[in-house]
Structure 1
């Protein structure tokens, strides 16, 4: 009782003091309060928001972190905030100046996440969206901006199956949802849907947000059906002009060479009675793979400048990238620049944004067969004759000289990619924004390929050079008009958005081919002199097509007390690609969130900091790949006489289908977000099911009444189910040392539910191809089965004389040469069902160490090279892999059978990669001229742990025939990078 009385006396005394202060201050009137905002290291924070709580009064800190604000009472509370930092509230009292120190936010709920046509705090998100910041990107050489995410996002399935610097990265989000269109997600760059990754430099990327489920992606309609990757580049911002340089040098080498027979093996086999008449020792001792590869030293330089006032600010950057390939005469050189400008007027009611990104790229495209030819070359053969000319080996059955292939052919592509946009935003009243955005993306390319003919074919003798020229161009135009409004009433927060989008796409191109020139000294630039042109054997072609997308869309969000959240969107979209009866489609979405941790019954559970349940449903669509598939198309065919003149005939090339429409993907998502142990452990779990109906595919139809025997129609259905888990936390956190650990896991099960209806029937079809020599399909697409199934014979043994035995339809073994179509079965699947990533960061004072691992599991890989060449029967044709010396299934014989497709060459593909290790040191100087220097070293693609016998189990995940390591491959590379980031 006594303690309670003392407590009330304290409150009374405090109230008296406050009353005296108020009376004194009231007699003095308003006053100005000066302040300084810094981070924990004393570095001024530019652009921090300083508001008087509950009032409209507010300012921002200047280039030195200073501010001045007018207050009217000692009871006023200042709210100081800045993105990425914890918000601070301070009572004014009698202070005339204050120093405010902001600390980096450990509350991930306040992180800003970019969603379709806007942004939200992470804690308010009700859909499956993952945000990755630049500090979490993988380091070192990457092919494009999306590879920065590799191993970082649950449910994002990525593959980089080629070491070619001109090749891209393959991406699926939550599996394959179509059987005829692309499964690649929509790329949005700075708000522009369909932005090209080639138009930006990875070094200019600030954040990447991945919209994975239907409720998040439905706002983008048909183009969001495979998920959406939103890339936000570095923006202009106010403050003192700052200059930043990021440069690095990369040392690259082939990750793994194909293990082929060496000269010593040839010499030994030449003494064996079985082979002495089939192979020859030509005196040399050569590693042909070494002869066509190199260890390039590549470099990248990025310079950016930004600054300006609170009214007008800017950013400008330029990036130069030089990437030589490991194969001779292959590589890529790019020059990219970016300009951004922001300007506000009318007391910040009118804002203008301009952004321009442009890339000019030159790349030397490899002759993909060169690596295979090097594998097949007899290691006792020399590259050159005694006079220095190339040794010629190319015949109808023996390999070509691969050094000549790479040196005597030039295949060069030059292109320019321009991405430009402008946006005007008008805010007439608080909470209301009216905006108009116009953008254009232009692509122009030219590709020239020429070679010395005799090194590339044996079908035509004594022809001097051949030339092929391509030219292509495209123009994408976008116009978007939007209005959004936000209103808070007590504990209720509402926001709404309505918009209109118009997109126009145009494509065109041409090509020319000629051969047999009087000289090859002009390269591709004297094509009219070719003998083939005079003989009428040269070819020329061209094309042009266009299509349009028009959309109306809206979104509504509601948040009550940061506890109950709702988001709903609707898009009405029309496409010129579809039939006259189905030009338009509806794409609705709804999602809700419940922050369970804010309920009263959770208050006593101290280890739970945040717990949110999410549920969402969304509908998206898939367009046709080509612009005119719903129409009757005509082709020229044959020549006949009409009225005494030769006239080219015209025949139908497709059947019309006025009912051709969107594929419709419906997706449910259930998610849980949690944060535990004072936010030391954070995680997300998502369960989803997506079903795509009205699959677009080509079906057999009768003729007549149809013009031709095939027609595009909407018939089938496919389903993907899966689970995703992401965890991250701080294992150790002290003053000088922090250990962060994060990981993600995803599982996806795919099933083709149907392919037929009452009008169109198709139970299955075969796809994939083994190429020359074997002439077999590799995969099957079948109702009730997953996409990606390998379909062939199951090898069960080898006879004593080296002939393959396979399992027959009756379960008994039979000679492979006697097996039929009825004996084939599913022998694997080329799509991984599971992906995982593990990332750890250790911070000690100014040092940092980051390690990333990733893996894929539950799939098989067809080793095409082994399938074609792992038999002694072909030793007279070319060099063979060393694995040919194995005796399969415990047999006493080598393989002497013909090369063929069966399960022995479909290997388990599971792998774990030590993907990235980065060690860095940051020196914070914070003087007038130099803010900081960061030095780092990185190793990329360092180690692959796998049971697969080929070069790399990370193979293509595209299309209906995934999981094949092609024999005509470009080997993957390992790189070591030394880099520096200097901020002035």
Structure 2
């Protein structure tokens, strides 16, 4: 009996143990799978390691998997993301975050109105990730693009804080309309033209960068759309390329707090090599002798070095940035909230830019079928500026002009401690220091940019989306030029200006998207939609003069006794659009994209309000062919081609309409009566500039994507160019705007990148190169003195400089030039007719570079990383007149003129002091080719073992614009105008909580 009871109990224990084990093997794990940015990943695969237990995530990223071992391991994989192994550790709920394979052909790329995997792209698109531009002290996003995308030429229009940059994608597509690309910021199209009110009528104001209101630290990715297949979905605004900017969104399964801050010091990157006090005194003595005037300086050596006005006007300037952000993607709500403070002192005295910005990006899944999203940002910029482009009259001089125009023989202060504001033979003189320090020029801008959208997914493959976007801009500009310290202020007894501008841009887009996979090999996506956008723009300026007291300035314009100029303007435009796109993929091998957009714009003539912009592209992934599978070293090989039409509407409003002016008068009954007259003919036929572009591209990847190559050859033909055509006088009009002429751009671009070393020591390198050739193919009815058929735009027209006349015998031996003396410039009689005139001018150079390039190299060892970024351009020319040819002015000169012709230096080929026959020629032409060390950065990331609560935090030191190799004698061959660019050294920290 006892044996039977024992046997029964033993059997029950065995069964119970077996049952318990069986229950453990059936343990269920649930959770969600998402990318690091919080985006839920549908269709991700899960596998319990060492078993056949598997599952996939649903459309919301949720998963449920039964596992055999509560302490086993899950293997999670998803196309375009790193395969991840997760230890179960007895948990029943696990949130899984996956890292994107940024260098892989599987990378997800943002395209117009959607996303695609890199391997499925048929157009030409360059990507710039947040990691690439991290910790760069940039005021605006366009500074971050320079040198990082093949075929994108970025030049500095001004080095001032908030100064504009010029961006050309595959060359300029227009000669008279806008050439800037279209920016799409979180689905809202923005054209980068300045929305600032104008300055005084004396040319005192240089427009700032409209993109300076966008905080670069908020950016997640930048996509540059270059060919017609990629840009035609934006139709009438796609000819100049499209840059899509996506800001950061919520990520992580808990709230994280990030602090990003840096502090740096800026100094002028390059000083001009100008004469010192003694050298300039000797030059002015020579100059006076040529005019039979007494020498102004009895003892030039006594002056010594004199005043270095560059040292007086430039300074070491601080730059700092502080940002705090909160981010989370837990549950059905994900959000990214950031606040930013940016403060940059300019390297020129009395210049500064401050920016305060705030952003809230949120995504809420209201149900399985409904999703709400918003991207809202507000920024305030306060720009304290100095003139950076002089007026034509020279009554207001820019910073660069002040430096050239002021003699180093003059001290800053006189013996009474007062600013010196006059020197030998000076015209329109003023103290550069006093004028810049007392000019009041303050531009304040408020910018609200954002959108809200609602997605409805009634079926698994069907999504409806409606979006409302707004861009609200409010600008206020105040300027005052004191009568005591500025030439223009003294001339007008004080000059002031108050300007205001308000811009309201509203966008509504409605799209429907259908996706379907047929028989596992046919992948189809169809997009259709309707878009409507309207902008209203109002500005007003008041320009008084004749102030009783400089101290009050524009705070008391009612006290101004001089003339007051009052202007106002209002304009608006609207656009309605229909768009559609089809993406088809067969067997992951054959790719087809076709798109169409119809745009109706108020800017064009009654007969041509609508424009139609189709495109088609195809791709063939040879690497998916069976005969290529044996090439283990080959990861991807794709050939693609595209063709399409895009347009350009950036011509301003009302250009197709007749205009009137009321500034005229006529005599009626012996009295002057206000009159109105036509100033422009109506042109109901005015239409879009259209650009037809074809592109052939190749995408290659080797050794598991460790080596990557992308190459494109393209050709763009723009027709129906918008030209102002001269009209015969008997018509009663001087000119009218017509569609006429053509322009062509063609070129080659390539990008090669590689993960050369991996492991503890890493080395990643990326090189891009682009060559573009532009040519005017037709002028049609237009005439021009600088544009020539068969030549590119941007020409320099001038004479061929052949040195100087060294003696009277050389003058007597020729007849082309008369009234010249030894030491005067000698120019070539090109047509050999015995006369020197306009017919002897040639196209002597061009401002466009022949090719541009960029090289980025990143080294890493454990927690240390070093990044070096180089950027350059070759083949461009510049004409540098100032400092080389200004014989009637007392301003300073380049040290090159130390070797000028004189009675003691008759073999020199540099003209004498005060030579009279100054012509634009190859004498002033110089190469603007350059190579720059744009950025060097050393950083250290703290490991979790050292700072457990701050894992992933880092510190870094960085140098910007450290070195420029060039033969150009101006401030910067890359531009910068009359406000030089800066070299910046800085220290920064990223803290993660």
TM range (shorter): 0.7 to 0.9
Partner of 1:736: 760
Partner of 1:209: 223
Deviation at 1:306, TM superposition (A): 1.2
Which of residues 340, 344, 348 is equivalent to 1:319? 340
Whole-angstrom CA distance in 1 between matches of 2:634 and 2:186: 36
Which of residues 804, 822, 845 is equivalent to 2:839? 822
Q: Say if 2:168 is the partner of 1:172.
A: yes
Partner of 1:962: none
Which of residues 556, 567, 570 is equivalent to 1:526? 556
3-state DSSP of counterpart to 1:137: coil
Q: Say if 2:136 is the partner of 1:140.
A: yes
What 5-or-longer segments of structure 2 have no aligned partner? 1-18, 48-53, 192-209, 389-397, 807-821
Which of residues 347, 361, 376 is equivalent to 1:356? 376
Deviation at 1:708, TM superposition (A): 1.2
Q: Say if 2:101 is the partner of 1:80.
A: no
Deviation at 1:579, TM superposition (A): 0.6
Contact 1:492–1:561 (8 Å) recurs in 2: yes
Partner of 1:447: 477
Contact 1:289–1:371 (8 Å) recurs in 2: no
Which of residues 177, 181, 199 is equivalent to 1:181? 177
Whole-angstrom CA distance in 1 between matches of 2:910 and 2:179: 45
Q: Superposed, which structure 2 residues align to 1:398-797 within 5 Å? A: 399-457=429-487, 464-489=493-518, 490-532=520-562, 537-640=563-666, 647-702=673-728, 704=730, 706-733=731-758, 735-756=759-780, 761-762=781-782, 764-766=783-785, 780-797=786-803
Partner of 1:931: 951
Partner of 1:903: 922
Whole-angstrom CA distance in 1 between matches of 2:775 and 2:40: 52
Going from structure 1 to structure 2, the CA distance change for 1:721 and 1:47 (only over 3 Å counts) comes to closer
Which of residues 337, 353, 358 is equivalent to 1:332? 353
Which of residues 186, 190, 200 is equivalent to 1:190? 186
Whole-angstrom CA distance in 2 between matches of 1:99 and 1:539: 66
Contact 1:289–1:375 (8 Å) recurs in 2: no
Which of residues 115, 126, 129 is equivalent to 2:125? 129
3-state DSSP of counterpart to 2:849: coil
CA displacement 1:800-826 (0-9 Å, x = unmatched): 2211111113359x8xxx621111111
Going from structure 1 to structure 2, the CA distance change for 1:645 and 1:279 (only over 3 Å counts) comes to closer
Q: Say if 2:339 is the partner of 1:309.
A: no
Going from structure 1 to structure 2, the CA distance change for 1:798 and 1:641 (only over 3 Å counts) comes to closer
Whole-angstrom CA distance in 1 between matches of 2:231 and 2:222: 15
Partner of 1:945: 965
Whole-angstrom CA distance in 2 between matches of 1:414 and 1:39: 41
Q: Say if 2:930 is the partner of 1:922.
A: no
How many pairs align?
908
Deviation at 1:381, TM superposition (A): 1.6
CA displacement 1:873-908 (0-9 Å, x = unmatched): 44x723222111124895377524234311111111
Whole-angstrom CA distance in 1 between matches of 2:78 and 2:694: 35
CA displacement 1:100-147 (0-9 Å, x = unmatched): 996763761111100000000000000000111111126432131122
Q: Say if 2:235 is the partner of 1:224.
A: no
Going from structure 1 to structure 2, the CA distance change for 1:460 and 1:521 (only over 3 Å counts) comes to closer
Contact 2:407–2:890 (8 Å) recurs in 1: no
Whole-angstrom CA distance in 1 between matches of 2:359 and 2:96: 35
CA displacement 1:849-883 (0-9 Å, x = unmatched): 000111111121111323433xxx44x72322211
What 5-or-longer segments of structure 1 have no aligned partner? 1-23, 62-66, 767-779, 957-965
Whole-angstrom CA distance in 2 between matches of 1:138 and 1:342: 24
TM-score (norm 1): 0.86
3-state DSSP of counterpart to 1:524: helix
Q: Say if 2:862 is the partner of 1:845.
A: yes
Deviation at 1:525, TM superposition (A): 1.4
Whole-angstrom CA distance in 2 between matches of 1:643 and 1:267: 64
For the aligned residue pairs, the C-alpha RMSD in angstroms reads 3.3
CA displacement 1:508-551 (0-9 Å, x = unmatched): 1011111112222222111011111xxxx211010000011110
Q: Superposed, which structure 2 residues align to 1:275-314 within 5 Å? A: 277-280=294-297, 285-314=306-335
Whole-angstrom CA distance in 1 between matches of 2:362 and 2:147: 34
Q: Superposed, which structure 2 residues align to 1:62-101 within 5 Å? A: 69-71=64-66, 80-81=76-77, 85-87=81-83
Going from structure 1 to structure 2, the CA distance change for 1:655 and 1:674 (only over 3 Å counts) comes to same
Going from structure 1 to structure 2, the CA distance change for 1:387 and 1:945 (only over 3 Å counts) comes to same
Contact 1:505–1:547 (8 Å) recurs in 2: yes
CA displacement 1:172-205 (0-9 Å, x = unmatched): 0000111111111000001111176233200111
Contact 2:250–2:361 (8 Å) recurs in 1: yes
Which of residues 259, 274, 279 is equivalent to 1:260? 274
Q: Say if 2:886 is the partner of 1:862.
A: no
Whole-angstrom CA distance in 2 between matches of 1:487 and 1:504: 35
Whole-angstrom CA distance in 2 between matches of 1:799 and 1:659: 56
Q: Say if 2:890 is the partner of 1:877.
A: yes
3-state DSSP of counterpart to 1:290: helix
Whole-angstrom CA distance in 2 between matches of 1:29 and 1:551: 59
Going from structure 1 to structure 2, the CA distance change for 1:848 and 1:72 (only over 3 Å counts) comes to closer
Contact 2:356–2:381 (8 Å) recurs in 1: yes
3-state DSSP of counterpart to 1:146: helix
Whole-angstrom CA distance in 2 between matches of 1:827 and 1:552: 47
Going from structure 1 to structure 2, the CA distance change for 1:28 and 1:38 (only over 3 Å counts) comes to closer
Contact 2:858–2:866 (8 Å) recurs in 1: yes
TM-score (norm 2): 0.86
3-state DSSP of counterpart to 2:654: coil
Contact 2:33–2:57 (8 Å) recurs in 1: no
Partner of 1:886: 899
Partner of 2:9: none
CA displacement 1:906-931 (0-9 Å, x = unmatched): 11121111111111111132877423
Contact 2:213–2:355 (8 Å) recurs in 1: no
Deviation at 1:973, TM superposition (A): 1.0
Partner of 2:249: 235
Task: Report the more deviating stretch, 847-856 or 45-54.
Answer: 45-54
Contact 2:235–2:599 (8 Å) recurs in 1: yes
3-state DSSP of counterpart to 2:790: coil
Contact 1:578–1:624 (8 Å) recurs in 2: no
CA displacement 1:773-806 (0-9 Å, x = unmatched): xxxxxxx111221111111111012112211111
Whole-angstrom CA distance in 1 between matches of 2:779 and 2:489: 44
Whole-angstrom CA distance in 2 between matches of 1:573 and 1:831: 32
Whole-angstrom CA distance in 1 between matches of 2:685 and 2:504: 29
Which of residues 805, 812, 825 is equivalent to 1:799? 805
Q: Say if 2:988 is the partner of 1:982.
A: no
3-state DSSP of counterpart to 1:904: coil
3-state DSSP of counterpart to 1:865: coil
Going from structure 1 to structure 2, the CA distance change for 1:71 and 1:690 (only over 3 Å counts) comes to same
Contact 2:157–2:164 (8 Å) recurs in 1: no
Deviation at 1:429, TM superposition (A): 0.7
Going from structure 1 to structure 2, the CA distance change for 1:976 and 1:652 (only over 3 Å counts) comes to same
Whole-angstrom CA distance in 2 between matches of 1:114 and 1:220: 14
